[in-house]
Structure 1
Amino acid sequence: MQSLKGKTALITGASRGIGKAAARALAKEGVHLGLIATSQKSLQEIIEELSDADISFASAGVDISKEEEVQQAVKQLEDELGAFDIIINNAGIGTKGDFLDISTEEWEKVFQVNVMGTVHITKAALPGMMKKNKGDIINISSMSGLKGTKGSSAYSASKFAVLGLSESLMQEVRHYNIRVSALTPSLVETDLTRGDGERNPDKFMQAEDLAEYMVSQLKLEQRTFIKTAAMWGTNPF
C-alpha cells in the first residue's frame, strides 16, 4: 500500500455529505486539499474544522456547471497547491418525479451539474495530472447509474452518463498512469437523501463509509486499480 501523505486532492461538493467525509478522511492521511462547493462560507467551516491537520488548504465557491468559472477556480487552486494528484468528482444534484412531470429545465440542470460539472472539473485539472504522469480520478455515480427506477429518470440518466464518461476516460489516460474509477453506491445517508421514506437511517450506508473505501482504494499500489465499485448497505430494511 502506498502512502498518501503530501499528495494534493481536488474535491467537489466538499462542504457536505460524501465530499465533506472525503475531505476529513484525506486530511487524516496528510493530503493537501483543494475544496470546491457552491458556498465559500460552507467551505470555510470545513477548513476551520480541519485546521489542526498538518496540511495546506485552498478553496473556491463555484458553480461547476459553468465552465469558465471552473477553469478560473481550478487555476487558482493549482496556483496555491500545485497540480493535483487526486480528483474526486462528487458534486451532484437530484430530482424526482414521473418522466412527463420533470421539466426540460430540470433535466438540463441535472445534466449540467452531474455530467458537465464532472467534465468541466476534469478538463481543467487533468492536464496538470498528465504532466505528472500519475494520478487518480474518482467519479461518484450511483446504483441509479446501473439500474433505472421509477421516478428517477433524469437523475438515473445523468449517473449512467457519468459511468460512460468514466469508462472512456479511463481508456484514454491509463497510458499516463492515471487511474479512473467510478463508485456506484446504493442509498447513502446524506443531506440529499435524508428523510427519504420511512426507514432507519442508522442502518443505511454513511458518507464516512464511502470515504474510508476511497482512501483504501487510493492507497493501492499504482500498478493496479479498481475500475468500478458497487457499495451496498448490508441490511437497511
Structure 2
Amino acid sequence: MQSITGKTALITGAGRGIGRALAHAFAREGVHVALMGRTRANVENVENELSEFDVKTVSVQADVSDGEEVKEAVQSVKDALGEIDILVNNAGIGKFGRFLDLSEDDWRSVWDVNVMGIYHVIQAVLPEMIERQAGEIVNISSTSGLRGTEGSSAYSASKFAVHGLTESLMREMRRENIRVQAISPSKVITDFASEHNLSDGTEDREHFMQAEDLADVVISQLKLHPRMFVKNAELWATNPK
C-alpha cells in the first residue's frame, strides 16, 4: 500500500453527491483538494466544510463541457495548489426516457458533459503528469456503461464511451507510469438518483450504495502499490430492498 497524504486531487462535479463525498474522503487522508463545479455556491459550500481538515483547498467554477472554462479553472488550481497528482472525473448529467422521446439536444448535452467534459479536463491535466511520469486518473462511470437498460439510451451511450476512453487511455499511459481507471457503480443514493426518478424515496436507503461507499473504493484503489491497479471496479449493493 502507498500513502496518498500530501498529494493534490482535482475533483469535477464536486459540489454535491459523489463529488462531495470524495472531497471529504481525500481531506481525511491528508490530500489537498481542488473542487470544480458548475455551480459556484455548491463548491464553495464544500470547501467551507473541509476547513476542519489540515489540508489546502480551492474551489473553482467551470462547466466541463466548455474547454476554455476548464483550461482557466485548471490553471487557477495549479496557481493555488501546484501540481495535480490525482484527477477524478466525476461531473455528469443524465437524460432518461424512451429513445424517440429524447431530443437531439438531450443527446448532445449528455455527450458534451459526460464524454467531452472528461476529454477537456484530461487534456488540461495530462501533459504535466506525463512530464512528471506520475499521476492518477479516475473516471466515474456507471454499470449503465457496461449494459444498456430501457430508457437510458443517451446516458448509457455516454457511459459506454467513458469505458472506451478509459481503456484506450489506460493502455497509452501505463508506459508513462500513469494509472487510468474507471469506477462503475450501480444505483447510488444521491440527489442525481432522486432528480432522475432512479430513487423513489421508499426504498431502504441503507441497503443501497451511498456516495461515501464509492469514495472509500476510490481511496483504497489509489493506495494500491504503484506497480498495479484495478482497470474497472464494478460496484453493486449487496442486498437491495
- 1:13-52, aligned counterparts within 5 Å? 13-52=13-52
- For residue 130 of structure 1, report the CA deviation from its aligned partner: 1.4
In 1, the alpha carbon distance for the partners of 2:54 and 2:132 equals: 23
Paired amino acid for 2:239: N
Per the normalisation by structure 1, the TM-score is 0.98
Paired amino acid for 2:152: S
- For residue 58 of structure 1, report the CA deviation from its aligned partner: 1.5
- After TM superposition, where is structure 1 displaced by more than 3 Å over at least 4 residues in a row? none
1:109-165 deviation digits (Å, cap 9, x = unpaired): 000000000000011011121122111100011000000000000000000000000
CA contact (8 A) 1:83 1:125 kept: no
The equivalent residue for 2:218 is 214
In 1, the alpha carbon distance for the partners of 2:92 and 2:177 equals: 27
In 2, the alpha carbon distance for the partners of 1:94 and 1:62 equals: 18
- 1:24-173, aligned counterparts within 5 Å? 24-173=24-173
User: Alpha carbon RMSD of aligned pairs, Å?
Assistant: 0.9
- For residue 231 of structure 1, report the CA deviation from its aligned partner: 0.5
Q: Secondary structure at the match of 2:25?
A: helix
The reply to whether residue 10 of structure 1 matches residue 10 of structure 2 is yes
- Specify every segment of 5 or more residues in structure 2 that has no aligned partner in the other structure, as ranges: none
The equivalent residue for 1:180 is 180
In 2, the alpha carbon distance for the partners of 1:233 and 1:183 equals: 14
The reply to whether residue 236 of structure 1 matches residue 226 of structure 2 is no
Q: Secondary structure at the match of 1:175?
A: helix
Paired amino acid for 1:210: L
What is the number of residues matched between the two proteins?
A: 237
CA contact (8 A) 1:143 1:185 kept: yes
Q: Secondary structure at the match of 1:51?
A: helix
Paired amino acid for 1:10: L
CA contact (8 A) 1:95 1:152 kept: yes
- For residue 59 of structure 1, report the CA deviation from its aligned partner: 1.5
- For residue 184 of structure 1, report the CA deviation from its aligned partner: 0.8
Q: Secondary structure at the match of 1:193?
A: helix
Paired amino acid for 2:37: A
In 2, the alpha carbon distance for the partners of 1:117 and 1:189 equals: 23
Q: Secondary structure at the match of 1:173?
A: helix
The reply to whether residue 226 of structure 1 matches residue 230 of structure 2 is yes
Q: Percent identity?
A: 54
In 1, the alpha carbon distance for the partners of 2:16 and 2:100 equals: 31
In 2, the alpha carbon distance for the partners of 1:219 and 1:62 equals: 29
CA contact (8 A) 1:64 1:117 kept: yes
In 1, the alpha carbon distance for the partners of 2:49 and 2:18 equals: 16
In 2, the alpha carbon distance for the partners of 1:111 and 1:64 equals: 11
Per the normalisation by structure 2, the TM-score is 0.96
